[in-house]
Amino acid sequence: MRIECCHCGVRGHEEFAYLGDATVVRPAAVDPGSPIDDATRARWAQYTYVRDNPAGPHRELWQHVWGCRAWLVVTRDTRTHAILKVEPARDLALARTADEA
Amino acid sequence: MIDRTRSLAFMFDGRRYQGYPGDTLASALLANGVHLVGRSFKYHRPRGILTAGPEEPNALVELREGARREPNTRATVAELYDGLAATSQNRWPSLRFDLMAVSSLIAPVLSAGFYYKTFMWPASFWEKVYEPLIRRAAGLGRASGQSDPDAYEKAFLHCDVLVVGGGAAGLAAALAAGRAGARVVLCEEDFELGGRLLAENRTVGNRTGAGWAAYVAAELAALPEVRILKRTSVLATYDHGTYAALERVSDHLGEPPPYQPRQRLWRIIAKHCVLASGAIERPLVFGDNDRPGVMLASAVRTYLNRYAVAPGRRAVVFATCADGARTVADLARCGVSVEAVVDPRAEVPPPMKAAARAAGARLISGGAVRRALGSLRVRGVEVRTADGAIERIPCDLVCVCGGWNPSLHLASHLGARPVWSERLAAFVPASLPPGMAVAGAANGELGLGDALAAGARAGLAAAADCGRAGQSLDIPDVEPEETGVTPLWRVRASRGKSFVDLPNDVTDDDVALAGHEGFRSVEHLKRYTTLGMATDQGKTSNVNGLALMAEFTAKSIPQAGTTTFRPPYTGIAIGALAGHHRGKDFKPTRLPPSHRWAQQAGAVFVESGLWLRAQWFPRPGETDWLESVNREVGAVRTRVGICDVSTLGKIDLQGPDAAEFLDRLYVNGFKSLPAGRARYGLMLRDDGFVLDDGTVSRLGDGRYILTTTTANAARVLQHMEFCHQWLWPHLDVQFSSVSEQWAQFSVAGPRSRDVLRKVVDHQYDISNAAFPTMAAAELTVLGGLPARLFRISYSGELAYEIAIPAGYGEALWHGIMEAGSAFDIAPYGTEALGVMRIEKGHVAGNEINGQTTARDLGLGRMLSARKDYIGRVMSERPALLAPDRPTLVGLKPIDREACLRAGAHFVGAGAEPTAANDQGYMTSVAFSPTLGHWIGLGLLAAGPRRHGEHIRAWDPVRNGDVAVEVCDPIFYDPAGERLRA
Amino acid sequence: MPDPAQVSVSALDATTGHSDHGGPGAGVTASEIPGAGLATLTARKGQRGRLADAVRSAFGCDLPDRPKQVLGRGIAFVWSAPDQWLAHTPAMPAGGMEPYLRERLTTLASIVDQSHGRTLLRIGGPRSRDTLAKGVPIDLHPRAFQPGDAAVTVAAHIPVHLWQIDASPTFVFAVPRSLAQSFWHWLQASAAEYGLDLAEK
Amino acid sequence: MRYSILSLLSQAVRGNTGWKPVWREAELKPAYDVVIVGGGGHGLATAYYLAREHGITNVAVLEKGYLGSGNVGRNTTIVRSNYLLPGNIPFYEWSMKLWEGLEQDINYNAMVSQRGVLNLYHSDAQRDAYARRGNAMRMHGVDAELLDREQVRALAPNLDYDNARFPIQGGLLQRRGGTVRHDAVAWGYARAADQRGVDIVQNCEVTGIRIEAGRIVGVDTAKGFVRAGKVGLACAGNSSRVAALAGLRLPIESHVLQAFVSESVKPLVHQVITFGAGHFYISQSDKGGLVFGGDIDGYNSYAWRGNLPTVEDVCESGMALMPMIGRLRLLRSWGGLMDMSMDGSPIIDKTPVGGLYLNAGWCYGGFKATPASGWCFAHTIARDAPHALNAAFRLDRFATGHLIDEKGAGAQPNLH
Ligand SMILES: Cc1cc2nc3c(=O)[nH]c(=O)nc-3n(C[C@H](O)[C@H](O)[C@H](O)COP(=O)(O)OP(=O)(O)OC[C@H]3O[C@@H](n4cnc5c(N)ncnc54)[C@H](O)[C@@H]3O)c2cc1C
Ligand SMILES: NC(=O)c1ccc[n+]([C@@H]2O[C@H](COP(=O)([O-])OP(=O)(O)OC[C@H]3O[C@@H](n4cnc5c(N)ncnc54)[C@H](O)[C@@H]3O)[C@@H](O)[C@H]2O)c1
Ligand SMILES: Cc1cc2nc3c(=O)[nH]c(=O)nc-3n(C[C@H](O)[C@H](O)[C@H](O)COP(=O)(O)O)c2cc1C
Ligand SMILES: [Zn+2]
């Protein structure tokens, strides 16, 4: 595959490291004082282990690890490998966490 | 195209022959009257030469000798060179007389898949008797079994337009795109450009076909942005315009010239691709159609027209398509008598009639060859005439043409299925990979004129799409030709064996049997009969095979469909896919700053990851490694030693939110870490298991220096980047690896301070009071060189880690050795380092193995309750909190002489070593010269509660079974006075 | 204080002389660039704009926001990642890279000395592109890559940061110090057929 | 018809016209006691053992393509039980035992070849890790030997012992490990199940799973609706998609694993050998082809095909291990869909849906598991409870922390 890094241009996918599903939502941090209940544990287990694994468009995290080291969110069709969109993960994360900041 | 001025000597099966430059081994053998070239896979039938190209199923030989021997080499593509030596395969004792041929006698028993039905009794016989027999009988050529002496190379090639194939269509495409100024790469598998133009007796405009090809080649060669790669097969299509191509740089020579590789693998990245790979002719399925002398009509024309070789004297032409006429004409022109033209069509088209008449050949319309006669070479054919009469016609050459199959492999590698064309009675490409166009015979445009026009169109369009508009080529006119075909999938009521797949000896009966037993899908047909699975991948047999299956199962051919097309298009040497990266160059080698010194000091080195590290430094007189390592440990424990620890990952972290970032990253807190101090830290993965450990030092200017283990350096940096960019983007931190920038040496031992005093510039006070344990400072050494000093001890002694810009590393090392000579300083390697960390009960890679939690490692107390951190929630899962989880302990042999081994499993003292009694295992061991016996660390169920207990360390794979005492993992100076001294 | 230039040693064993080769003359020339100052410059959060201004006034050049190398007064900046550059001076400034840059750029960026972390190689000659193509995956053809262009990539399994400094062509490769010897070994093997000239250091 | 040398001879004289289809082309019935989704090794073995061990014969195996079109038809045929963790060893050893008696059991020659599986080590740490594994195997009564460099050389003389970047130090050998002819496993189980009355229906994709009141009622297929008392999913690389039809999300990603075969040559490689310093393993098929593979391609995919860098990586490792293969030609490459689970170990369990059972997460190692997987899945379906042998392969282990992570790679499938 050839992936277009938002910063470096098109590169062979072997320059990138794959992490996987970018759609899983990380549960909110648990306040250290309170004990961890089953519901919390279940939420984290879902986040850590369970995936949609779709056949079709898939939003996934890649890092241009042998290049600029930017993390990217790549939308890719898992049936054809066609790449539909590439976005810098950090920009998306900033938008997502604007409130936290 | 053959240069008769110079002759080349070559050998086949030990006999000497002569050929000429421009010959292939096949054409040269034919010129020398050699038609018997090999033996078949299963029945060991005599086999000759069927084709003149890469699709050759039969003429496979062992090329070259010794370590360079290449089994299964197609004689039809092997270029002749002076001194070439080839040997026939799969026969014993000789090619003409092959005892294994008896297998034909029991052929009926050896029907498709017979081996699934027998060889089952007794079970033990399979490995001992049956399988060895089958393996020896199977297989074709012999590998050399020796290391390949030649070099290979890989290279990248970027272009606008990749043209696959240098025949009429490909040349036209390259010319159109090249003239437009596009960056063009033209790959031609053959050693000459021209494709069928070299093989056919025809004209293009006012030139011969070959002449036109040469003329275009010359113009292409002159275009600056056009690159012509001959002897280069495009092997595979991959995603997003990536293609793999193999250039046979030196295969046409005895051996590669100096500094040249044998072959070069090109990874071609192309915006567009014009697939002009031509078409492959189909043989016909009739009795004993495998006899040497039965040859594709197109191949016969190639040998006549290109190589000036007559593959026989008396020919019979058995044709179902237009090429029959061309073949008859060429044969006659070259003085080969055409005994008969057998055309199954009742209504034979006029050109064929004319050709036969002109050649004075008898035309048998509506007839069919039901059998080829002869064994080591055809002697004649048995023909069934339209009225059913059987006639024998003597001949020594049978030219067969059953129509053409476009070479569409590269169009289908991404999964697209070709579609059936009734007009051509062949599959043609349908949907194409993005950026690919197909032109010429590869697209079913069989006529020369059509091929030229289609090629030019495709080349022009591709260039235009890359922003290089050009003018359309004016196509020289060529005489029109008829390209019709009336398919004949097999000759019914044949005599003898009718082969569909020659190399794997698959007959029409086998296809029928497969259908009969339920293997009706073409994929089942292939797997059950092995049709299409040999070295030629069924280039000449697949379509005949699936057509027969369609017939037997009363399906249409498109319903039957094709099998899956897979790379590579033709076989590629595995060495070429490895290129430069073999032997010592398999992976690059990382060298730490003290490497040169260590080499001169005669160190023994060990690979750790990509690094090469000094394992120990033997001294004259020392006889075994343990002696050296004990001495090195002794030196550190009693005096002082120095060890290169530059391989640790080092990360420079800055920014206002640095402390917050660290707090979330590590399980323990860092907000409270004051400047000038270091702290040990532990990181978890999201799933709660330990990721890595290391130290964090806060320097004067408020920046932090993190160290990681050598093994996890890359993974930790990646993890931090993930956290920073994806989880906590709003934190104002910046970090980058400084692993390469800083050499770092551990100076350890009671005298280490004395040594460093002489190295560190005097204005800096490194006294115990001023610079206590876990102190960190930026300072200068050796009169002004910038350095960093950390009072960190891995060995448990008074110890420091001193860092300096890597270029000064050697200087600092020498400086320390010099300053240390007064104290008899000793360099020590990874072994001694390991011994001392075990004596101190520090965990390392053997314990932090991705399967252990902080609690398992006795580090539970580090888990902060005052903050959140990565992995916290998942580390609290019930199974990970279970009190009986294997947990870190120390172990000593009861018999102090006994030796411990990592990997041994623990069982209770009296208990049997069974799965039920498995209580953990030994993670690390060392001989402790300090204690005078072996010691170990291990993970033992409920370990911490069992100190003092005696258990077994069971190690059957090394015949070990040692009684050990469970103890605290810290064997040496548990109170830690020495390092605070 | 000892002269650091004297104390500092190259990561490469032999980089001078003429390595034997197949072709006649030298198709490729290569040499190490010793003694340069290098530092990683990373903009603090939200400070990219002000950092650019500071760079402009201090060095008279614009920080590139794409993979490029720009020349300023006595310094060059090579883009290496979003909001991150490799600052490159021909010689190590007195007092070292970090003080030199921090003095001019204050706390607008995190600054990390890398002068010893990278081995700089100058690679040129008529066949340099053919040689580099044996490991460098990116397109160095003049239509695709020009003087002033830069890239971070991996060649023959070795991470490299490279930029082109003239059209002859000449490229500069920044290679991690510990891997420099392996990179050099690959370069020699790849250039052998064209002839490799190792200019004096 | 029973297969034997006699049947071969008698057929030979009849011109091989008397052979029966290896399995019937069954018509889909409206209802079955058990419907197995997936006509791969595991699905077919499950059907066979349902009939043989539990007398449940009103069973259909529904296969969306041709029988064995999935991973059973494209794997590198290695069978072994050299596992590390308690959850795995007894299961895979049971599988090995079933392999050892399989051919006589199903009267089909699957060419079970116990030629030995040799895992090489190149460092002390790797040696100790293999010792740990070998000892664990021995504790479970599984054969394992730790060899030093010279013992390895004696077994496999033409590896690179002189010029290696990562010198071979020794290896872990399981002599009972080896290879099995992949396709024959599917065909043999199909034949044996068919003879016990199981309906095998090809080209019958399951497109829906019908659930009423939390209990399975049947499946929609390309050939219409089929009522089913129980449904077992054995869809390997397609597990997530099929489970989704029942509203289930799984701890699984689908990744491509490639494999390769060389042109066939006379006997050259006599064991299964795995390289310890790179991704490469190899054996030689009885036809003579060197069958080899390496790492998965590394990203989610349903494309059934691989990429070039992985091919190069595998061949670089191959040349580093055995430079004698340099001149042999790679003949064909292909890919299959791995159901990569999050801890690298499988799942054989009930699901939250009554009467719906799951068999998945086999990663690149499920071929060797075929007999035991079928055997245990059949038990789990028949008894509505897991057998002790598959008790560890629970679906809820990720939440409870009872992971079976042989590699310690964590929740990242492409690292397993
Ligand atoms: C290249 C490669 C090499 C491997 N090497 C080894 C090895 O050496 N040793 C080893 O132990 N393992 C190996 N494996 C893994 C092993 O092949 C698999 O784990 C195992 O085959 C999976 O079980 P299965 O046979 O049932 O899967 P499959 O054969 O894939 O069976 C699943 C079936 O389900 C069908 N299906 C899917 N969805 C539906 C639907 N909706 N309706 C109907 N049917 C459906 C599929 O068509 C398929 O036929 C390898 C795998 C690959 C790809
Ligand atoms: N009249 C007929 O029935 C008939 C049938 C077939 C072909 N032809 C003739 O064939 C020619 C068609 O021209 P064309 O250019 O389409 O086909 P071609 O056969 O002339 O050229 C195809 C070329 O592609 C090369 N090639 C194939 N696969 C390759 C690969 N993977 N990598 C690199 N090179 C590869 C071949 O070596 C060959 O030189 C015309 O001369 C036409 O007259 C005629
Ligand atoms: C163990 C094994 C051996 C194989 N040997 C050959 C072979 O000798 N020739 C061949 O063409 N293909 C061989 N194949 C590959 C198959 O042709 C086919 O590519 C593979 O089963 C995947 O199917 P597909 O390519 O139709 O998707 C072999 C496959 C396996 C699993
Ligand atoms: Zn990038």
Contact by Cβ (8 Å): D306, D259: no
**What is the per-residue pLDDT across D304-316, written as a single tens digit (0 to 9) for each?**
999 999 999 999 9
Q: Give, as one character, the DSSP assignment of residue B255.
A: S
CB contact under 8 A, D86 and B587: no
Is the predicted pLDDT of residue B90 greater than 90, yes or no? no
CB contact under 8 A, B157 and C110: no
**What is the per-residue pLDDT across B335-361, written as a single tens digit (0 to 9) for each?**
999 999 999 999 999 999 999 999 999
Give yes or no for residue B527 CB within 6 A of ligand 3. no
**What is the per-residue pLDDT across B556-574, written as a single tens digit (0 to 9) for each?**
999 999 999 999 999 999 9
List beta partners, residue C197.
Answer: C18, C29
Across D168-177, average pLDDT: 98
Across B267-285, average pLDDT: 98
Q: Give Cα separations from D349 to B880, D57, D343, D357, D388 (angstroms).
A: 22, 21, 16, 6, 12
CB contact under 8 A, B955 and D135: yes
**What is the per-residue pLDDT across D20-74, written as a single tens digit (0 to 9) for each?**
999 999 999 999 999 999 999 999 999 999 999 999 999 999 999 999 999 999 9
**What is the per-residue pLDDT across B180-229, written as a single tens digit (0 to 9) for each?**
999 999 999 999 999 999 999 999 999 999 999 999 999 999 999 999 99
Is the predicted pLDDT of residue B668 greater than 70, yes or no? yes
- Ligand 2 pocket, mutate which of B196, B321, B566 (most atoms under 8 A from CB): B196
> For position C5, what pLDDT does the model report?
76
Residue B44: in which H helix or E strand, if any? none
| Ligand minimally distant from the alpha carbon of residue D45 | 1
**What is the per-residue pLDDT across D339-363, written as a single tens digit (0 to 9) for each?**
999 999 999 999 999 999 999 999 9
Contact by Cβ (8 Å): B405, B279: yes
Between β-strands B152-164 and B84-88, what pairing exists: parallel, antiparallel or unpaired? unpaired
Q: How far is B869 from chain A (nearest CA, A)?
A: 8
CB contact under 8 A, D111 and B115: yes
Q: How far apart are CA B308 and CA B336, in angstroms?
A: 12
Read off the pLDDT band of B110 (50, 70, 90). Answer: confident
CB contact under 8 A, B588 and C157: yes
Residue in chain B lying closest to A48 (CA): B687
Give yes or no for residue D289 CB within 6 A of ligand 3. yes
Secondary structure class of B172 (helix, strand, coil):
helix
D411 part of contact set with chain A, CB < 8 Å = yes
Is the predicted pLDDT of residue B382 greater than 90, yes or no? yes
Query: Which residue has its alpha carbon closest to ligand 1 atom 48?
Result: D70
> For position B28, what pLDDT does the model report?
98
Cα first-last separation, chain B: 88
Count of helices and strands (H, E) across chain A: 2, 6
> For position C22, what pLDDT does the model report?
53
Across D331-338, average pLDDT: 98
Give yes or no for residue D73 CB within 6 A of ligand 3. yes
Q: If you measure from the C-alpha of residue C153 to the centroid of ligand 4, how many angstroms do you get, rounded to a whole number?
A: 9
Q: If you measure from the C-alpha of residue B523 to the centroid of ligand 3, how many angstroms do you get, rounded to a whole number?
A: 10
Read off the pLDDT band of B83 (50, 70, 90). Answer: very high
Task: Choose among B98, B93, B116, B113: nearest CA to B46.
Answer: B98
Give yes or no for residue B167 CB within 6 A of ligand 2. yes
A90 part of contact set with chain B, CB < 8 Å = yes
Read off the pLDDT band of A32 (50, 70, 90). Answer: confident
| Chain D residues inside the 8 Å CB shell of B116 | 3, 108-110, 181, 184, 187-188
Read off the pLDDT band of C120 (50, 70, 90). Answer: very high
pTM for the predicted model, two decimal places: 0.98
Across B755-781, average pLDDT: 98
Between β-strands B232-238 and B242-247, what pairing exists: parallel, antiparallel or unpaired? antiparallel
Assess: ipTM above 0.85: yes
Contact by Cβ (8 Å): B616, B828: yes
Task: Choose among D143, D122, D133: nearest CA to B955.
Answer: D133
Read off the pLDDT band of C21 (50, 70, 90). Answer: low
Read off the pLDDT band of B702 (50, 70, 90). Answer: confident
Inter-axis angle of helices B752-759 and B809-821, nearest 10: 120
Q: How far apart are CA B258 and CA B46, in angstroms?
A: 40
Q: How far is D7 from chain B (nearest CA, A)?
A: 8
Min mean pLDDT across B115-129, B392-406, D80-94 is at B115-129
Contact by Cβ (8 Å): C183, C160: yes
> For position B41, what pLDDT does the model report?
87
Instruction: For C17, list phi and psi in degrees, rounded to 5.
Output: 95, -165
- Token pair 């070795």 is at which residue? C158
The interface residues of chain C toward chain B in range 104-123, judged by CB-CB distance below 8 A, are 109-110, 112-118
**What is the per-residue pLDDT across B154-170, written as a single tens digit (0 to 9) for each?**
999 999 999 999 999 99
- Chain mean position to CA B864: 47
Is the predicted pLDDT of residue B390 greater than 60, yes or no? yes
Query: Which residue has its alpha carbon closest to ligand 3 atom 14?
Result: D261
Residue A98: CB partners within 8 Å, gap ≥ 6?
Answer: none
Across B272-283, average pLDDT: 98
Instruction: For D195, list phi and psi in degrees, rounded to 5.
Output: -65, -20
Instruction: For B320, list phi and psi in degrees, rounded to 5.
Output: -120, 5
Give yes or no for residue B694 CB within 6 A of ligand 2. no
Percent with pLDDT over 90 in chain B: 94
- Ligand 1 pocket, mutate which of D69, D280, D364 (most atoms under 8 A from CB): D364
> For position C201, what pLDDT does the model report?
41
**What is the per-residue pLDDT across A51-101, written as a single tens digit (0 to 9) for each?**
999 999 999 999 999 999 999 999 999 999 999 999 999 999 999 987 655
Query: Which residue has its alpha carbon closest to ligand 1 atom 51?
Result: D75
Give yes or no for residue D136 CB within 6 A of ligand 1. no
| Chain C residues inside the 8 Å CB shell of A92 | none
**What is the per-residue pLDDT across B228-244, written as a single tens digit (0 to 9) for each?**
999 999 999 999 999 99
**Cβ-based burial of D112 (10 A; exposed 0-12, middle 13-18, buried ≥19):** buried
**What is the per-residue pLDDT across B521-560, written as a single tens digit (0 to 9) for each?**
999 999 999 999 999 999 999 999 999 999 999 999 999 9
Is the predicted pLDDT of residue C15 greater than 60, yes or no? no
Contact by Cβ (8 Å): A53, D240: yes
CB contact under 8 A, A78 and D241: no
The interface residues of chain B toward chain D in range 374-413, judged by CB-CB distance below 8 A, are 413
| Chain A residues inside the 8 Å CB shell of D252 | 51, 53
The more confident residue out of C4 and B97 is B97
**What is the per-residue pLDDT across C154-201, written as a single tens digit (0 to 9) for each?**
999 999 999 999 999 999 999 999 999 999 999 999 999 999 988 754
> For position C23, what pLDDT does the model report?
56
Q: If you measure from the C-alpha of residue D301 to the centroid of ligand 4, how many angstroms do you get, rounded to a whole number?
A: 23
Give yes or no for residue B569 CB within 6 A of ligand 2. yes
Is the predicted pLDDT of residue C19 greater than 80, yes or no? no
Q: Which two tokens stand for residue B295?
A: 């040859």
Ligand 2 atom closest to the Cα of residue B190 is 37
Give yes or no for residue D333 CB within 6 A of ligand 1. no
Is the predicted pLDDT of residue C83 greater than 60, yes or no? yes
| One-letter-per-residue 3-state SS of D196-256 | CCCEEECCCCEEEEEEECCEEEEEEECCEEEEEEEEEECCHHHHHHHHHCCCCCECEEEEE
**DSSP string for D78-144:** EE-----STTTHHHHHHHHHHHHHHHHHHT-----B---EEEEE-SHHHHHHHHHHHHHHHHTT---
> For position B138, what pLDDT does the model report?
86
Across B233-259, average pLDDT: 97
> For position B549, what pLDDT does the model report?
97
Give yes or no for residue D68 CB within 6 A of ligand 3. no
Q: Give Cα separations from D73 to B135, D42, D76, D182 (angstroms).
A: 21, 12, 9, 6
For residue D267, whether the previous peptide bond is cis, meaning omega lies within 30 degrees of 0, is: no
Read off the pLDDT band of B605 (50, 70, 90). Answer: very high
Q: Give Cα separations from D126 to B590, D170, D178, D414 (angstroms).
A: 20, 10, 22, 21
Q: How far is B611 from chain C (nearest CA, A)?
A: 9
Ligand 2 atom closest to the Cα of residue B454 is 16
CB contact under 8 A, A7 and C153: no
Read off the pLDDT band of C18 (50, 70, 90). Answer: low
Q: How far apart are CA D386 and CA B396, in angstroms?
A: 70
